[in-house]
Amino acid sequence: MVQMSTPLTYDALIAARHQEVQELIAAEHGLIGYIYPHAPLELFLAHDFTPILLWAEPKIPSAYEASLQTFCCAYSRNLFSQRSKEHMPPLNAILFPGGTCDSLQNLGDVWRARFPDDTVLRLTYPVANDDMAVTYLAEELRDLSNHLEVILGKRFVMELYQKAVALIAEFKAAAQFIAVARIIRPSIYPYFEYARLIRKFLTAPSLNSLTEIESVATHLQNELRKEQCLPTTEALRHGLLAGHIPDQIEIQSTDEPRIMIIGGMVDSEGVAFHFDNAKANADLEDLEIAFDLLSFTYRTTFTKAPNLHFDPFTEMAQSILSAPAEATQEGLPSRLTFLRRVFEKLKIDGLIICEQSFCDPDQFEVPDTLKLAEQKKVLSVRVPLDPEFSDRARLEGRIQSFLETLTAR
Amino acid sequence: MAPDATTTPKEKAYRKLNTSKLLRDTMTLHILSTKQASQQGRLAWVTSGFPVEIPVAFDVTAAYPEQYGAIVGSEKCGPLLCGFAEELGFSQELCSYARSSIGSVKNPQQSPLTGLPTPQALLACNNICGTVLSWYEAVSEMTGAPVYLVDMPPLEGDQPSHHLSYVKSKLEGLIEFLSQTFNQDYDEEKLIQVAELSNEAVSLWTRALEACRHKPTPLNCADRFLSMAPIVALRGTQQAISFYQAFLAEVQDRVKNNVGAIVDEKVRLLWDNIPPWFTIYNFFNTLAKKGVSFPADSYTHAWSANIPRGEILESIAKVYSNVYLNKGLTAKIDKMCSLIKDYDLEGFVLFSVRSCKRYSLGQMVTKEEITRRTGVPGVIIEGDMVDSQQYNEAQVETRVEALLEMIV
C-alpha cells in the first residue's frame, strides 16, 4: 500500500521542508539554489552539485523594503527576505533566470549588489521556441557550464550527466504517470501527496526521493491495470507530453465535480493544503483536485527528457523549451486552445485560479482564462495566494464557498 | 499689494518652446496618417524600443500604444481607461500603459482620440521590458491582429555572438512576417535608406540633448519628454528630421543667447524614469519656480544610438539589443553617473513607477550607488505614469523638498 501522510498544521508542513533541507546540508553536498522552475538540473548534477529549488517561505518576516519596492513580485520579495534574514541554506551559488519576467530579472541585479559575497549565476532564456531559440539556449547553457567550472572548480562529467538524465527522466515519467492517473480517477491518489512528492524531489533530487515517487507510480499502474485503464492513461500521458489531448480519451462521468487549478510559480503543496482544509470545512471530503497547470508540477514535469545520443547542451535546451503552458513564453493563442481542449476533454467543472501579487506573466492571462471558462460553463474562482499571505482562514473560506457552489450545481 | 519690482508680474518661471506648435502639427499629422494607414490595412502597433526602421521600409505606419498611454495620462483619464481593463479581469497591479491601452480597445468611444486606430499587426520587442509580449498578446485576442515578437534576451556585458545570431534570426523572421502580412517584398536598399533617415533624426535629437550641458539648460524635463514624440514615432521618416532641424535650431539659439528653459536656474537635477504624465507640467513647473531644472534624464537619452554602417540586419540587431534597459542595473547606473558628471548635476530624482518593474526595481540600490560614486544626493518618489490613483502629490512634494534642503 502506498504510504500517505496528512499534514496536521501549516507550520508542520513547513517544518518538514526545513528538515529535508537540513538533511541535504548535513550530507555535505555542494548546493546550487534556483528559482525559475525550468532550471537545467541535469547540468548541475553533471558538475557534481545538487540543485535545490528555493521555495517561498510563508513564515519569513519581511526584510526586503530597503532594497525592493512592494510591486516586485511576491515570490521575489519572499526570497529576498529569506536571504536577508539568513534563512537560506548555505549555497555554493544561486541561479537567477533572465528574460522570463522583469521582477526576477532585476532581482538578480539587486541580489548581486546587496549580497556581494554570494555567487550569482544567470541563465537567460529565449521567449520563443524555434530552432534558433534552442541554439541560443544551448549556448547559454554551455556558457553556464564553463562558468561553473571556472568559478566553482567542478568540471562537467559526462558520466554524471548520463546518471542525471536518467534520474530526472525517471522522476518526470513517474510524476507524469501520477498526474495522468489522477486525471483519469482523481480519488486514486490525493493531490496533496502528489504535490508533496514533486516538491520533495525538487528540493533534493536523489535516488531516495525518486524511489518514493516511483513506488507510488507503480502502485497506481497496478491499480489502473486492474481496471483496464492503463492504455488510456498512457495515451493521455504521451498526448500531454506532445502538447495535446488525444481524441480517444474519454473521461468517465462521476457524481463529484472535476476541479482544476491554474497559476504560475505558486506552492502546489500549499494550495493542496488549503484546498483540503476548505473541503473538510464544507463536509466534502470526497472532492479532489483532478488536474493542475502550475509551474512546479505540470509545467516542470511534462517536459521531454534529453536524448543521450546527442549534444548535451542542445538536448537540455530542447528539454527546457518543451515545457508546456508556460506563460513566460510567447504563444497565448496555443495555450488557450490547449485550455479549451482540457476543459472539454477532461470534463472540468470548476477552476481555481491561483494568483501571486505582481506576477505579470500569469496575471495577464487571467482575463482570457476567465472568458474561456465562462464560455465552457466552468465555474471559476480567483484566489490570491502570496507566500506570506497571513489571512489563510479567509482564503480557505473563499475556496470553501466555491466548492459549495460547485457541488450545488 | 504691489507686485515685486524685480519681476514682471506675468512672467512665468518656465519658457515655452517656439517649436511646440510645430511639434503639435507634426504629431497631429502623424495621428491622421495612422488613421489612414489603418483604413488602408497598413498599420502596426509598435513598442517604443522596436526596430521600427524595418516596418517603415515596408511602408507600414507605426502607432505607439506607449505614446497613447502618455496622451491618456496627460488627459487625466488614466483611471477611467485602466478601469475598463480591470472590468475585463486585468489586475490593477499590471502596467498602466497596458491597462489603458486594453481599456481603450474595449471602449474606444470613451477614450481620447477614440483610441488608436485598429492595427493589422502588433510588433513587440522585449528589449524594454517583458510585459510587452503579454500586453500585445492580450490586445491580439481582442483585435485579431497577429503578434510578432522580436525577442532580444537581456544582456550582461558584451553581446555574445550567439545572442547576435539569435536576434538577427528574429529580424529575418520579422521580414518574413511583414512580407506575408502586408503582401510586399523586402527591399534591402530601402531599409538602408530608412536607417540613414533614422540616424539623421537621432543625431539631431542627440545634439539637442547634449546642448543641455549648457548653463542654464535650454531644455527642461517636460520639454524633452514632449519633444521626444517624433523620435519615438517617426524614426526613419523625413518628418522627424524636419522637426528636429527646427527644434535643434531653437535649442542652439537659446544656448547662444544664454536663454534657459527656466527663468532662474539655481539647482540642476537628473530625472530617472517615465514622468507622471497626468501632472507633468505641474510637477516640473512648480520646481522651476524654485529654480530647479532637470537638464538630463535617463529616459529620453534612450533614443541616441546610431545604426552603424555594415550588414544592415546585424547592425540593427546590435543597436537595439544594447539599449541600456536591456543591459541590467549596472549599465543604467553607469549611464546615470555619466549624465551627472557630463551635465554637472547636483542631485537626482528617481521616480519609482509602480507600472514599470524593469525600469524601477533596483532604484534603491541605484540611489546608494550613484551617491557613492558621484557624491551627489538623490531621492526616490513613488507613483505611476498613467494611473493617478497611485500618486500622492503631497508625499512627492515632501520628498523633493527634503532633497532640495540637502543641496541648497
Which residues on adjacent β-strands are paired with residue B382? B352
Domain residue ranges of chain B, discontinuous segments joined by +: 20-186
In this structure, are residues B325 and A102 in contact, taking their beta carbons and an 8 Å threshold?
no
> Least CA distance to B330: which residue of chain A?
A109
Q: Does B369 touch chain A (CB under 8 A)?
A: yes
Output the nine-digit C-alpha cell for B334: 553607469
Interfacial A residues in 137-156 facing B (CB < 8 Å): 139-140, 143
Q: Note the pLDDT of residue A31.
A: 93
Of B117, B105, B144, B136, the C-alpha closest to B34 is: B117
Give just the sign of the alpha carbon dihedral B74, B78, B84, B90: positive
Considering only the beta carbons, identify the residue of B149, B163, B361 that sits closest to A110: B361
Distance CA A80, CA A76 (A): 6
Domain residue ranges of chain A, discontinuous segments joined by +: 17-159
Which residues on adjacent β-strands are paired with residue B351? B381
**Chain A residues close to B362, C-beta within 8 Å:** 106, 109-110, 113
**Could you read off the pLDDT of A53-93 as tens digits, one per residue?**
999 988 899 999 999 999 999 999 999 999 999 999 889 99
Number of A/B CB contacts below 8 angstroms equals: 148
Beta-carbon neighbour count of residue B393 at 10 Å?
14
Mutate to test the interface with A, among B47, B84, B91, B128 (most CBs of A within 10 A): B91
Q: Does A120 touch chain B (CB under 8 A)?
A: no
> Least CA distance to A115: which residue of chain B?
B365
**Could you read off the pLDDT of A224-245 as tens digits, one per residue?**
999 999 999 999 999 999 999 9
Mutate to test the interface with A, among B137, B334, B380 (most CBs of A within 10 A): B137
In this structure, are residues A108 and B141 in contact, taking their beta carbons and an 8 Å threshold?
no
Q: For residue A20, give Cα distances in angstroms to A17, A26, A53, A201, A206.
A: 5, 10, 12, 10, 12
- Angular region, B96: left φ>0, alpha ψ -120 to 50, beta rest: alpha
Q: Which amino acid is at B170?
A: K
Banded pLDDT at A18 (limits 50, 70, 90): confident
Q: Do B130 and A333 touch (CB under 8 A)?
A: no
User: Going residue by residue through chain B (408 aa), what tens digit of pLDDT does each one get?
Assistant: 444 444 455 678 899 999 999 999 999 999 999 999 999 999 999 999 999 999 999 999 999 999 999 999 999 999 999 999 999 999 999 999 999 999 999 999 999 999 999 999 999 999 999 999 999 999 999 999 999 999 999 999 999 999 999 999 999 999 999 999 999 999 999 999 999 999 999 999 999 999 999 999 999 999 999 999 999 999 999 999 999 999 999 999 999 999 999 999 999 999 999 999 999 999 999 999 999 999 999 999 988 889 988 999 999 999 999 998 999 999 999 999 999 999 999 999 999 999 999 999 999 999 999 999 999 999 999 999 999 999 999 999 999 999 999 998
Q: Note the pLDDT of residue B10.
A: 62
In this structure, are residues B372 and B335 in contact, taking their beta carbons and an 8 Å threshold?
no
Considering only the beta carbons, identify the residue of B135, B156, B364 that sits closest to A66: B364
Mutate to test the interface with B, among A102, A114, A125, A357 (most CBs of B within 10 A): A102
Considering only the beta carbons, identify the residue of A101, A113, A140 that sits closest to B130: A101
Q: Do A102 and B130 touch (CB under 8 A)?
A: yes
Q: Which residues contact B113 (CB under 8 A, 6 or more apart)?
A: B31, B68, B71
1.10.3720.10, 3.40.50.11890, 3.40.190.10, 3.40.50.300: CATH of A17-159: 3.40.50.11890
Q: Note the pLDDT of residue B60.
A: 98
Q: Does A77 touch chain B (CB under 8 A)?
A: no
User: Is B70 strand, coil or helix?
Assistant: helix
**Chain A residues close to B365, C-beta within 8 Å:** 67, 109-110, 113-114
Distance from CA of A348 to the nearest CA of B (A): 21
Distance CA A208, CA A103 (A): 34
| Mean pLDDT across A19-46 | 88
Is pLDDT at A1 greater than 70 in this prediction?
A: no
Distance CA A362, CA B115 (A): 26
**Could you read off the pLDDT of B177-220 as tens digits, one per residue?**
999 999 999 999 999 999 999 999 999 999 999 999 999 999 99
Distance CA B366, CA B368 (A): 6
Is pLDDT at A174 greater than 90 in this prediction?
A: yes
Q: Does B392 touch chain A (CB under 8 A)?
A: no
Q: Does A128 touch chain B (CB under 8 A)?
A: yes
Domain B20-186 has CATH 3.30.2350.10: no
The overall average pLDDT reported for chain A is: 93
| Mean pLDDT across A364-370 | 97
User: Is A31 strand, coil or helix?
Assistant: strand
Question: H/E element holding A230?
Answer: helix A230-241
Question: H/E element holding B381?
Answer: strand B378-383
Is pLDDT at A19 greater than 90 in this prediction?
A: no
Q: Do A132 and B169 touch (CB under 8 A)?
A: yes
> Least CA distance to B98: which residue of chain A?
A364
For A91-118, letters b (16+ CB in 10 Å) and e give bbbbbbbbbbbbbbbbbbbbbbbbbeeb
Q: Do B357 and A140 touch (CB under 8 A)?
A: no
**Chain B residues close to A336, C-beta within 8 Å:** 141
User: Is A353 strand, coil or helix?
Assistant: strand
Share of chain A above pLDDT 70, in %: 97
Q: Which amino acid is at A4?
A: M
Q: Which amino acid is at B193?
A: Q
Mutate to test the interface with B, among A70, A71, A135, A358 (most CBs of B within 10 A): A71
Q: Do A367 and B330 touch (CB under 8 A)?
A: no
Burial of B266 (0-12, 13-18, 19+ CB in 10 A): middle
> Least CA distance to B156: which residue of chain A?
A122
| Mean pLDDT across A378-386 | 94
Of B260, B268, B262, B406, the C-alpha closest to B345 is: B268
User: What are the backbone angles phi and psi of residue B123, rounded to the nearest 5°?
Assistant: -110, 115
Distance CA A190, CA A211 (A): 18
Q: Which amino acid is at B266?
A: K
**Chain B residues close to A125, C-beta within 8 Å:** 153
Q: Note the pLDDT of residue B2.
A: 42
Considering only the beta carbons, identify the residue of A109, A128, A330 that sits closest to B329: A109
Of A192, A194, A170, A197, the C-alpha closest to A180 is: A194
Banded pLDDT at A8 (limits 50, 70, 90): low
In this structure, are residues B272 and B350 in contact, taking their beta carbons and an 8 Å threshold?
yes
